[in-house]
């Protein structure tokens, strides 16, 4: 427990988000529990062999490469911290698992996107319209959406800016397009009076992540499209790539620390390949 408490404090000092710290600690506790079940030695005696065996354990427990590699990243961070603190003698790191399968596009097809968006607009619910237009028009994460405050929005009739509070207390400023500005303006006209400065206000106060997920699910169920906020982020990123927007620009829009993360939006869909071959002329 001593190591966990110190490691938690270390992560918090690095301005990691509360959600990131929680994931790291949960994964690290799982590793410690596994290690303790395999040996009577304390953590200060952990060796590279143990790390390799833990990787095999994860591969036997989980099918998702993303899940396995996330847990490996957490443990590697913990082991690196242990070495820096001289709690262990050797530097070690578990190699991530390589997914040899072709990555699949995680966004919505344009037809599905049209169904969801049109159904929400047809409902006339101004808050729901504001939610879909903000997610699609900026690509913000659902956690960033729920943290938008009225003071984060600056708009005139012709332009607008949104200050987004991202991971690790980072901030970025995004332009708001015409559709998003209109949706926000219309919603503000009917926004319930509240002591809260948060933009999205429901019957019980500021909307939380689960409420956003539920709202989208209800519309998705109605038009038979599975949808969650992160798919809308992927949809925007993918479409920006197709429009030829530089990856560095997309990186800044989506708030990625590294442009390599933005590369996931360059995935080619089956439809892209079919269209490319269909248009071949000899």
- On whether residue 97 sits in a domain, the answer given is no
- Residue 106: predicted pLDDT: 78
- On whether residue 75 sits in a domain, the answer given is yes
Q: What count of Cα atoms within 13 Å lies in the side-chain half-sphere of residue 26?
A: 9
The tally of domains found in the chain comes to 2
Beta bridge partners of 153: 162
3 state DSSP class of 164: strand
All residues at 6 or more sequence positions from 268 whose CB lies less than 8 Å from its CB, including other chains: none
Rounded to whole angstroms, how far apart are CA atoms 185 and 174?
A: 17
Residues 132 and 247 grouped into a single domain: yes
Q: Choose one of 49, 84, 119: the last residue of a domain.
A: 84
- On whether residue 92 sits in a domain, the answer given is no
Closest by alpha carbon to 81, among 34, 46, 41, 40?
Answer: 46
- On whether residue 77 sits in a domain, the answer given is yes
Q: Give the CATH number for residue 183.
A: 1.10.443.10
pLDDT at 272 over 80: no
List, for residues 3-24, the tens digit of each pLDDT value.
Answer: 899 999 998 888 778 888 899 9
The pLDDT > 90 percentage for the chain reads 53
The whole domain housing 214 covers 110-268
């Amino acid at each position: 427990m001593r190591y966990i408490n110190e490691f938690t404090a270390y992560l918090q000092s690095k301005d990691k988000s509360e959600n990131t710290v929680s994931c790291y600690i949960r994964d690290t506790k799982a590793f410690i529990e596994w290690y303790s079940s395999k040996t009577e030695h304390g953590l200060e005696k952990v060796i590279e062999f143990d790390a390799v065996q833990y990787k095999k354990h994860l591969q036997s427990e989980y099918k998702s490469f993303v899940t396995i590699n996330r847990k490996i990243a957490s443990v590697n961070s913990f082991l690196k911290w242990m070495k820096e603190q001289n709690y262990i003698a050797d530097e070690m790191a578990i190699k991530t698992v390589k997914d040899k399968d072709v990555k699949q596009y995680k966004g919505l097809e344009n037809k599905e996107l049209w169904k969801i968006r049109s159904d929400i607009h047809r409902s006339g619910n101004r808050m729901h319209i504001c939610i879909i237009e903000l997610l699609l028009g900026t690509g913000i994460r659902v956690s960033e959406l729920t943290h938008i405050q009225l003071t984060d929005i600056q708009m005139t009739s012709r332009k607008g800016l949104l200050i987004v509070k991202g991971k690790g207390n980072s901030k970025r400023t995004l332009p708001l397009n015409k559709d998003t500005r209109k949706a926000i303006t219309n919603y503000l006209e009917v926004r319930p009076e509240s002591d809260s400065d948060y933009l999205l206000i429901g019957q019980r106060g500021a909307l939380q992540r689960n409420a956003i997920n539920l709202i989208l699910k209800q519309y998705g169920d109605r038009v038979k499209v599975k949808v969650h906020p992160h798919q809308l982020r992927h949809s925007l990123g993918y479409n920006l790539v197709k429009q030829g927007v530089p990856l560095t620009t997309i990186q800044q829009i989506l708030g990625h620390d590294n442009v390599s993360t933005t590369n996931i939006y360059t995935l080619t869909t089956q439809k892209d390949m079919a269209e490319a071959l269909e248009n071949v002329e000899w």
